[in-house]
Every structure is written in C-alpha cells, then in structure tokens.
Amino acid sequence: MLETSQIRAFNENGFVTVKGIYTEQEMEELEDAFDQTVSFGLRDFTHGEWRQNRPEAKSVEGLHDVQKYHQGWAKLLLSHLPLIEGFVDLMGPNVELHHTKLFRKGTEKGIGFPMHQDAAWMRHEKDSLLAAIVHISDATEEMGCLKVFPGSHKLGHLPIFSEKGRYLDPQQYPISDATPLPAWRGDVVYFHYLTIHGSDINTTGRIRKSVLLQVRDPSDHNIDGRHEGNHAAGMMLAGLRPHPQKR
Ligand SMILES: O=C(O)CCC(=O)C(=O)O
C-alpha cells in the first residue's frame, strides 16, 4: 500500500518512485525471467527518426507482451499484489491490463527515448492510463535512467512533433532539461500517461534492464485507435469490469 505522501506526490508531479515492492528473491526471479525472455529476440524500439538526432547511439531494444514468454511475469508483474495495489491506490479499485513491454538498453551507447507522452500512442477518453516501470537492474543517470518533466501531466495532450516517433518538440522539451529519476534495482516508478518522459543514452558498460506494465480503468475507451487490439489487453488485474447492463 502506498503512503498518503506518495499518493500526494504522484498527484502533484505525475510520477512517484516506490521502494520495497519486491524482495531480493523476487528480484532474482524477475532477472531470470528477463534474461530468458530476451533470448526470444528483441526488436529495435528506437522512436521513429530519433536516431538521426543521435547518430553516435545504437538502438534500444524491447519486446511487448512479456507474459507470453515466461510464467514469472504472471507471478511477479500481473498478479504481484504490492505492485497492483500501488495502481489501486493511484487510480481506484478497477485496474485492467493495457500492455507490457521490456527494455534492454545496451552498452555501446544504447539510445534513449525522446521526450513524449504515452497518450500520443494510446489516447483514451478519461485519461485513466498509468504505467509502472520495474527496474530489474540499476538505472543511474549515466545508464540512461528515466527523465521526466514534473507536473507535466497537468498540461493535457500536447502537439506531437514527429508523426512517426510521436514525440514532442525536442527544442521545447529537451532531454537535458528534464529531471533524472535515477533508480536502483527493485525500484518501481509509477507515472501518468500524460507525464512527459523519456531517457538518454546509456554511456556505461552496464546493461539497463527494465519492464513496464501499462494499465487503464476498464470503463475507459481508446479514442484514437492506436495501440488498440494489438496487444494482450483486457485482463483484470484488480477489481471488476463494469457490467454492460449497468452502464
Ligand atoms: O524506459 C525508458 O527509458 C523510457 C520508456 C518510455 O519512454 C516508454 O516506454 O514510453
């Protein structure tokens, strides 16, 4: 369960970092699931034409729907009570899976993500979507940790700069001006889908490993058709789907 101060910080800033959700034993199981899942092959998750801006960087690789590859994700992500209770505290009793994905930000300058709002990929009527990033390795600033513009979830839906990469104007929202959220193995960052976020290049020799769980209120609806129906959305992680006859 989150503390009142954590819920207040989330409402104010659009994100909150929470420690102590996983035991060390669970972290070992998560890392095992991560390592076995990446062996199925990853794809390049670099946002659109972003690489042109950072020609010196290599790709960031990832994979959607991690639960298809290893049972550990069902146990440690989709039905992990302390993780899911965090969502309940932040958004209410009913929590539906939207999608999962993992990232492997490699050494040799694994590229980051330009600053963006997740809403640009999956706009919903009630803006109920939240995500949690579970850090499976440390993510220091040098390793390209998550960066955010605190409070930006209150700005509403901002115009996108790149149609393909769906990121924001890099002059207006440079990664260098964003607040770094360095995290240690086991830390979980919850954030709103309107919070402007991204990350920079991994300049170290250490691989940054993370997995992301995105959820929504089951009474919310996608309104832009993007990211809809192509992932394993629909599983109820907490509470109940509103009954169609009671709507
Ligand atoms: O993990 C990161 O560095 C950023 C991930 C991200 O921006 C996203 O999944 O939308």
pLDDT tops 70 at residue 53: no
Q: What is the pLDDT of residue 203?
A: 87
Quick one: which atom of ligand 1 is closest to the CA of 146? Answer: 3
**195 three-class SS:** coil
Distance 102 CA to ligand 1 centre (A): 9
With a CB cutoff of 8 Å and minimum separation 6, the contacts of 52 are: none
Distance 226 CA to ligand 1 centre (A): 17
Task: Tell me which residue has its CA closest to atom 7 in ligand 1.
Answer: 198
Look at residues 235, 226, 12 and name the one whose alpha carbon lies nearest to residue 119.
226
With a CB cutoff of 8 Å and minimum separation 6, the contacts of 157 are: 117, 119, 120, 123, 194
Quick one: which atom of ligand 1 is closest to the CA of 45? Answer: 9
Confidence of residue 236 (pLDDT cuts 50, 70, 90): very high
Count of CB atoms situated within 10 Å of the CB of 20: 9
Task: Tell me which residue has its CA closest to atom 9 in ligand 1.
Answer: 212
- For the segment 12-32, the average pLDDT, to the nearest whole number, is 98
Q: What is the pLDDT of residue 235?
A: 94
CATH class name, domain 4-233: mainly beta
Stated pTM of the model: 0.94
Element (H, E) at 33: helix 24-38
Distance 244 CA to ligand 1 centre (A): 34
Per cent of the chain over pLDDT 90 is 74
How far apart are the C-alpha atoms of 5 and 241, rounded to whole Å? Answer: 29
Q: What is the pLDDT of residue 131?
A: 98
pLDDT tens readout for residues 146-175? 999 999 999 999 999 888 788 999 899 999
Task: Tell me which residue has its CA closest to atom 4 in ligand 1.
Answer: 198
